[in-house]
């Protein structure tokens, strides 16, 4: 179930948090965040919100939510860059990557944060016991809303090496240039299907799929499974099993979906709204 802009007047007064996206019906955030709210005995409800992709529609929904008294919202595809642009104040990571996934109501308007990066870093640590600083990272889909946040987080965490991968787009080189002052090594960039990508994957400790490939059944793999080898970590930010994860596991890799990242980015968003981290295990149980 979700609500559109025209349906906002129907919401009960205790509905004060939500997640905005398009599509949004698949989002697992409500079950996870509601578990955190209930455990903390906070009298709020968290719902799905569907915004149109037409120009100005997302901004109109934000205005309506602010006037209604919403405490905050999460933002997912395809609105993370618009969320950053709509905020009156942004944190360092949002500013660096130009995208935000968390908005907090303040007296002067929406303040934005990006918890995708910290959530990703915490998920990788939980999965592998290793920090990003210890890893050579290849990031597929670096120019997307989530990919840009993960690229910024890897740079700020000073991973051992960083390769940003995308389809040929001017933003790729621009992103590397923007991140370079915050990183101790040269940031490599390459495109899908190139020998440069094959070499980077062969040397990587962590391969991250931040593309949309895997969201739909029948999607192709973002890279050939033959390039993977045992001991590597393949992390797919899609929150369900995908052909990439299955192929990576068959090659002897540690493969995981994005539920860990979803969990921790949600926990850090809760912290921005209420000034404290929530109980993690109720959230984890709700996702399962």
pLDDT digits (tens, 9 = 90+) for 40-59: 999 999 999 999 999 999 99
Percent pLDDT > 70 in the chain is 98
Examine the pLDDT at 213 and tell me if it is beyond 80.
no
pLDDT digits (tens, 9 = 90+) for 225-283: 899 999 999 999 988 889 999 999 999 999 999 999 999 999 999 999 999 999 999 99
pLDDT of residue 15: 96
Residue span(s) of the chain under CATH 3.40.50.720 come to 117-257
Q: Which two tokens stand for residue 205?
A: 């400790």
* pLDDT band, very low/low/confident/very high, at 215 (cuts 50, 70, 90): low
Percent pLDDT > 90 in the chain is 87
> pTM score, two decimals?
0.93
pLDDT of residue 144: 83
- Catalytically annotated residue among 28, 80, 82, 216: 80
Alpha-carbon distance of 193 to 85, in angstroms, equals 33
Region label for 158, one of left (φ > 0), alpha (ψ between -120 and 50) or beta (otherwise): left
H or E segment at 112? strand 109-113
Supply the Cα-derived Rg of the chain in whole angstroms.
19
DSSP tag of 3: B
CB contact at 8 A, 157 and 183:
no
CATH of 117-257, one of 2.30.30.40, 3.40.50.620, 2.50.20.10, 3.40.50.720: 3.40.50.720
Examine the pLDDT at 214 and tell me if it is beyond 70.
no
Residue span(s) of the chain under CATH 3.40.50.10860 come to 5-114+262-287
pLDDT of residue 170: 87
Mean pLDDT of the 213-225 span: 77
Fold of 5-114+262-287: Rossmann fold (3.40.50)
Alpha-carbon distance of 152 to 125, in angstroms, equals 17
pLDDT of residue 240: 87
Sign of torsion over alpha carbons 7, 12, 18, 23: negative
Q: Is 80 in the active site?
A: yes
pLDDT digits (tens, 9 = 90+) for 120-144: 999 999 999 999 999 999 999 998 8
Nearest Cα neighbor of 175 from 135, 139, 208 is 139
């Amino acid at each position: 179930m979700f609500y559109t802009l025209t349906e906002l007047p129907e919401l009960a007064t205790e509905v004060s948090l939500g997640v905005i996206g398009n599509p949004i019906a698949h989002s697992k955030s409500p079950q996870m965040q509601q578990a955190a709210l209930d455990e903390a005995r906070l009298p709020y409800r968290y719902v799905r919100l569907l915004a149109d992709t037409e120009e100005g529609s997302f901004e109109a929904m934000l205005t309506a939510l602010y006037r209604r008294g919403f405490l905050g919202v999460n933002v997912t595809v395809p609105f993370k860059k618009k969320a950053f642009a709509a905020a009156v104040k942004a944190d360092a990571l949002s500013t660096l990557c130009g995208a935000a996934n968390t908005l907090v109501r303040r007296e002067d308007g929406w303040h934005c944060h990006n918890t995708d990066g910290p959530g990703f870093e915490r998920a990788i640590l939980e999965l592998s016991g290793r920090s990003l600083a210890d890893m050579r990272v290849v990031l597929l889909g670096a120019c997307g809303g989530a990919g840009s946040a993960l690229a910024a987080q890897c740079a700020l965490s000073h991973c051992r090496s960083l390769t940003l991968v995308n389809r040929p787009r001017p933003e790729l080189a621009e992103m590397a240039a923007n991140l370079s002052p915050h990183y101790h090594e040269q940031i490599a960039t390459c495109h899908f299907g190139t020998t440069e990508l094959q070499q980077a994957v062969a040397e990587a400790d962590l391969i991250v799929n931040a593309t949309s490939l895997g969201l739909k059944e029948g999607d192709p793999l973002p890279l050939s499974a033959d390039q993977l080898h045992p001991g590597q970590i393949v992390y797919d930010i899609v929150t369900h099993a995908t052909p990439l994860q299955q192929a990576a596991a068959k090659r002897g890799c540690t493969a995981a979906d994005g539920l860990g990242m979803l969990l921790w980015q949600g926990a850090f968003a809760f912290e921005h709204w209420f000034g404290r981290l929530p109980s993690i295990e109720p959230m984890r149980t709700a996702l399962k």
